Structure 1
Amino acid sequence: MSKELFRRYSKNPIIDISDLPYPANAVFNAGATLFNGETLLLMRVEDKRGISHLLLGRSKDGVRNWVIDKEPTLLPEPDFHPEEEFGIEDPRITYLDEIRKWAIVYTAYSKYGPLVSLALTEDFKSFDKKGVILPPENKDAAIFPERFSDKWALIHRPSPKDLRAGAHIWISFGYDLCHWGEHRILFESRDGAWWDSGRIGLSTPPLKTDKGWLLLYHGVKLTVSGAIYRLGLALLDL
């Protein structure tokens, strides 16, 4: 029998809509980081219109006693960022020591579909939105915390309209955080009856270990009863 890697917290969920300071349809898909000795969750909250924004919660142990902002922390701003017309979703947070800021890569939902946007912050109170960094349809993106040969690296998942083509995890490189090139597939969803045969996408930002870069990713198997999501691991060279 394989060794158990993860164990679900017995009192899940750690946050639900009853904990929020205002009415909402759902709270889910949070980005997480450590800040000033606390765990921060930048949570996706879907409002009563079905449009998402981001809301910050803080906890000393990352499990209990959450202190949640009284108002939305980061709202869509379609007047200034038209790509955010239908909300902002699914943030992934990376601390960039080189610039001493946290990079928040999130999905902006435009009338043309989901795309990848970037915001920077020093304090999780004010945010500098950089706008679109990858066009639609694309999501599940995060930045590596350090450069490779002077280039930043970004993981993301383009989403073809025809899923028979597969939805794979890609990597791109750039000298700044806003312009990306050298796009290539990092690894593919598998063919056949595999648990990750439908599509795959990044879950958390890459984690550096002494064995390599650890990726937690989600895989989707498409069945006649709907999509089944599962969690997987991949290890990249340093």
Structure 2
Amino acid sequence: MTELFHRHPANPLLTAADIPAHVASAFNPAATEIDGEVLLLVRVEDARGLSVLWVARSRDGVSDWRVDESPLLFPVEIYEEWGCEDGRITFVPELGEWVIAYTAYSHLGPAVALARTRDFQSVERLGVVLSPENKDAALFPRRIDGQWVLLHRPVSGGTGHMWLASSPDLVHWGHANVVLRARGAAWWDGARIGGGAQPLETPEGWLLLYHGVKQMVSGPVYRVGLALLDRDQPWHAVARTDEWVFA
């Protein structure tokens, strides 16, 4: 297998010790660029197991991280009473804003929620847009055929496939289509799959970095794979790696 990715020798770049609060862990960040800096939206979990999303900034994306004094997204509404988890950030040129897709977790289960921001200092919540059990959502950066498109991962019967939904206004979503399926059996992505970073537009199509799960006796094993969706009809998968590319 050709190695496409290499871990940076400075890892870990951020730990719980960098967060200006008593927390248990810092992980699963989303990333973007703003004002010439790299910005991470880090999932931070406290000792209860509840998560918030916290902003950190760096000029080179490696060192001298400046972490905000308080989280950007934290439980406010009943639908996120148990935490805000696993944000994905998409800059949307048409809006001049970033849209954050995150998992809103409550006693009703994990749901997909959206929020908008211009500066990562305040957010406008759009609320839950896809009901439980659903997570791993990421917004495409532009409309396709006049509609916004959202990648998401509902779960049914213990198996999670990747779907697309569309919306005219970022609030009302429908027209669901399965775009990638968990392959089942012994495959590295056999148990379930889900989106990673926001879809990246290339001349060949939309590049997806997605995670796959294989259920082992010792627990689930997560790895990363690649897929390519049609540029004009992203509900059609053009290509998908048979092997994982990062683990």
TM-score with structure 1 setting the length:
0.95
Q: Tell me the residue number matched to 1:85.
A: 81
Equivalent runs, 1:16-165 vs 2, <5 Å:
16-77=15-76, 81-160=77-156, 162-163=157-158
**Structure 2 contact 10–62 (Cα < 8 Å) conserved:** no
The secondary structure found in structure 1 opposite 2:71 is: coil
Paired residue for 1:221, among 214, 230, 233? Answer: 214
**Structure 2 contact 163–176 (Cα < 8 Å) conserved:** yes
**Structure 2 contact 200–208 (Cα < 8 Å) conserved:** yes
CA deviation profile, 1:79-115 (whole Å, cap 9, x unmatched)? xx21011011100000111111100010000111000
CA-CA distance at 1:208 after TM superposition: 0.7
What is the alpha-carbon distance in structure 2 between the residues aligned to residue 106 and residue 12 of structure 1? 25
CA deviation profile, 1:44-86 (whole Å, cap 9, x unmatched)? 1111222111110001111111010112222210xxx210110
Paired residue for 2:189, among 196, 202, 208? Answer: 196
What is the alpha-carbon distance in structure 1 between the residues aligned to residue 46 and residue 218 of structure 2? 28
The secondary structure found in structure 1 opposite 2:79 is: helix
What is the alpha-carbon distance in structure 1 between the residues aligned to residue 160 and residue 3 of structure 2? 28
Q: How many residues align?
A: 231
Taking only aligned residues, the RMSD between alpha carbons, in angstroms, comes to: 0.9
Paired residue for 1:186, among 174, 179, 183? Answer: 179
**Is residue 175 from structure 1 mapped to residue 168 from structure 2 by the alignment?**
yes
The secondary structure found in structure 2 opposite 1:155 is: strand
Q: Tell me the residue number matched to 2:242.
A: none
Gaps of 5+ in 2: 232-247
**Structure 2 contact 72–123 (Cα < 8 Å) conserved:** no
What is the alpha-carbon distance in structure 1 between the residues aligned to residue 227 and residue 60 of structure 2? 27
What is the alpha-carbon distance in structure 2 between the residues aligned to residue 64 and residue 132 of structure 1? 35
CA deviation profile, 1:171-190 (whole Å, cap 9, x unmatched)? 01111101111001011010
TM-score with structure 2 setting the length:
0.91
What is the alpha-carbon distance in structure 2 between the residues aligned to residue 180 and residue 107 of structure 1? 16
What amino acid does structure 1 have at the position aligned with 2:182? S
Gaps of 5+ in 1: none
CA-CA distance at 1:12 after TM superposition: 1.3
Q: Tell me the residue number matched to 2:200.
A: 207
What is the alpha-carbon distance in structure 2 between the residues aligned to residue 3 and residue 167 of structure 1? 28
What is the alpha-carbon distance in structure 2 between the residues aligned to residue 13 and residue 156 of structure 1? 28
What amino acid does structure 1 have at the position aligned with 2:18? D
**Structure 2 contact 206–230 (Cα < 8 Å) conserved:** yes
